[in-house]
Amino acid sequence: MTAQRRGECGYALLAAVASIALLASLALMMLLASRGTIVMAAAETDQARLRAAADGGIALALQGLLQPDLRQRWAIDGKPRGVRFGDYDLAIAIVDERGKLPLNRLNRDQSAAMFSAFGLTGVDRDIAVDSFLDWRDQDDDTNPQGAEIDYYADKGIAPRNGPLRSVGELALIRGVGPAVAARIIPVATVDFGPKGDFDPRFASAVARRIMADQDDEADVPNGVTPRISAPVGDRDSLIDHPLTIIVEASIDGGRARTRRRLTVSLTGIDERPYLVLGGE
């Protein structure tokens, strides 16, 4: 075989090896993509099953709330109740929204007490209070140390000029910010309901302390000032209270998890024992 012929064979062999390497690389890419698709599909399946398990937790909590025997009714204390549901671990808690700080009903003194309790003092507290009240009121008149539309314009934020729709809005308000809001959110609510009073039975100590400071002359939207109700032993007094069921579902020791919230109101009517007020 001539040198030229050997060179042509060498080039052909090199080209064949390169083609095989390219095909192997493409096959590997396809395999990795398939595996990625399988992993993604498995994750989506896990989440779908977790959501279904969390919905099952909601149903269990509703069943527990509606037990006719008061001794068997589930506690409304915000403490997680561990339940095994098939292959899933559920942590189910029930809280009474009337035991939280009603952000849309706080008067000036209560607002000041709230911000003081969560770390703001002096001018910083006054700015937060005035801005909080400005956020809720329906006019564009600014309180002495508050904020209206002009302050928020360059931040791309529009003040609500009405009741807060989520507790997370606190973080947007001048003088409050994410850090203070994060401390307030667990004990605050915008789901207090259209009527009724603050109920201290299932409230945190800080919420009871803040709500004990009443001022009937304060500027409260719609002229409604919360009052502390006397504790009542009968759980049926929770009719018309907004109750939030919180379910966290997990699998394989927490490998995957999801969270579900549903706010309901018990009616006391057998045909329709509860109303759904909202959820996520």
Global pTM?
Answer: 0.70
Could you report the per-residue pLDDT of 12-71, keeping only the tens digit for each?
Answer: 555 555 565 555 666 656 655 665 565 566 667 778 889 999 999 999 999 999 888 888
- DSSP summary character for residue 78: S
Distance CA 192, CA 265 (A): 11
- DSSP summary character for residue 92: E
Could you report the per-residue pLDDT of 1-25, keeping only the tens digit for each?
Answer: 554 554 444 445 555 555 655 556 6
DSSP secondary structure string, 174-235? TTTHHHHHHHHGGGEES---SS--B-GGG--HHHHHHHT---TTS--GGG----BPPP-S-G
Distance CA 217, CA 107 (A): 9
Task: Please give the pLDDT value at position 78.
Answer: 87
- DSSP summary character for residue 168: G
Could you report the per-residue pLDDT of 208-264, keeping only the tens digit for each?
Answer: 999 986 443 333 333 333 333 333 345 556 788 899 999 999 988 878 889 999 999
Whether the CB-CB separation of 249 and 54 falls below 8 Å is answered with yes
Q: How far is CA 275 from CA 35, 188, 267, in A?
A: 44, 21, 7
